[in-house]
Structure 1
Amino acid sequence: MKKKILITSPPGTGKTTAIKKFIDLAKENFKMSGFLTEEIRDKLGKRTGFKILTLDGKIGILADINLKSPYKVGKYGVNIKDIENIAIPSIDADTEVIVIDEIGKMECYSKTFVRKVFSLLDSDKILVGTIKEKGDEIIDKIKSHQDVELIKLTIENRDEIPMMIFERVKKILQGAQKRAI
């Protein structure tokens, strides 16, 4: 059974919502670390950027329309410093399950982040995350890794996906406990 479970879908279909529901199901059962990304909106509801929220409560800026950065995705300047000082330490923890929402173009501007993701892929750790549906060479290489199970999220299946992933992770961990005995 593959230990790296990545949800993919077009933007706005509910990848982050599915990961949040998985976390709610799993937080009482598994030791987890990692991060989520959420939109930042102004008073009028217009999206102005994205923030990083670690599972242990740290907050950073992933990208913002007002951020001056050599790295840009559309109108957003990407904040490499917060990726490296907030997101990466959260996925470098010694926990049963690592959560990454999301492996996308913004995050992959950080070479340190990319190296950490490939290190996780080659490790024995369980990874549950989201990944951009259409990507560049790095995204494609991650998606085609031998230990990655790619789950296509759709409007029809998005309510079942969190429980399905929870059950798979539980099965992987039970198998590991049996082997340890």
Structure 2
Amino acid sequence: MKNLNILITGSPGTGKTTLVRSLCHSLKDFNPAGFYTQEIREKGKRLGFELVSLDGPGMILAHTDLPGDFQVGRYGVDVSGFDRFLKRLRLDNTQTGLIVIDEIGKMECFSDNFAALVYTALDSPIPVLATVAAKGGGLITAVKKRPDVEVVELTLHNRNELAPELERRIRNFLS
């Protein structure tokens, strides 16, 4: 049977991460492994992004206070910390029924280890639920063009219906 690899894309603010977090919760009986990204805010201002692991410690991926060679806009990206975070992930655990990657975006693509992890996950027999940037080249474009993925666009109009539909599809695949 063909594997189920779903990449959710959409404009910023449509709720991609909210959808992924909701699906992680509703599908917790399938032991999802991976991570999602959440904003770091202070006094209503976005200062950075934190990675939240589904099974271990998280990390700050990017922040306005992070110096370094890797920048996206006003955010410094901690690529070496991200690589250490990725090594701790156990996506191939025998109990894992769903791999979650939020997100395949410009910040994450600074890491060659991340690209390798994404390809390994998509090639595995474990279904992948990931978010992917709407725009970008390299890995972002490459994963969208794979014949074994379905790219689903999340919009303000379909976001309420998409969660139960994706949950049903994933449950049917895994059952």
TM-score range, shorter chain: over 0.9
Q: What TM-score, normalized by structure 1, do the two folds share? A: 0.89
Report the Cα offset of residue 151 of structure 1: 0.5
Matches for 1:142-181 after TM superposition, within 5 Å: 142-174=143-175
1:128 matched residue in structure 2 = 129
User: Percentage identity across aligned positions?
Assistant: 40
Partner of 2:15: 14
Deviation at 1:129, TM superposition (A): 1.1
Q: Detail structure 1 runs of 4+ shifted over 4 Å in the superposition.
A: none
Query: What is the correspondence of 1:43-122 to structure 2 with a 5 Å cutoff?
Result: 44-90=43-89, 92-94=91-93, 95-122=96-123
Letter in 1 for 2:76: G
Q: 2:33 maps to what in 1?
A: 33
Q: 1: CA distance between counterparts of 2:31 and 2:51?
A: 20
| Offset at residue 92 of structure 1 (A) | 3.0
Partner residue, 1:4: 5
Following the alignment from structure 1 to structure 2, what is the Cα–Cα distance between the partners of residues 126 and 40?
Answer: 29
Tell me which amino acid in the other structure corresponds to 1:38: Q
Q: Check the 8 A contact 1:41/1:47 in 2, yes or no.
A: yes
Local SS of the residue matching 2:89: helix
The count of corresponding residues between Structure 1 and Structure 2 is 172
Q: Provide the residue aligned with 1:177 in structure 2.
A: none
For 1:148 and 1:89, how far apart are their aligned partners in 2?
Answer: 25
Counterpart CA distance in 2 for 1:64 and 1:162 is 30
Structure 1: segments with no counterpart, 5+ residues = 175-181
Inter-partner Cα distance in structure 1 for 2:92 and 2:12? 28
What whole-Å deviation, never above 9, does each CA across 1:102-148 have from its counterpart, x for those lacking one? Answer: 11000110001001101112221210011001111221101111111
RMSD of Structure 2 on Structure 1 (CA): 1.4
Q: 2:85 is matched by which residue type in structure 1?
A: I
Shift of 1:58: 1.3
Q: Secondary structure at the match of 1:162?
A: helix
1:70-123 Cα deviation digits (max 9, x unpaired)? 111001011112321224532534211010111100011000100110111222
Q: Which runs of 5+ in 2 are unaligned?
A: none
1:30-62: CA deviation from partner (whole Å, max 9, x where unpaired): 1111101011112x2211100010012412011
One-letter amino acid of the structure 2 residue matched with residue 105 of structure 1: K
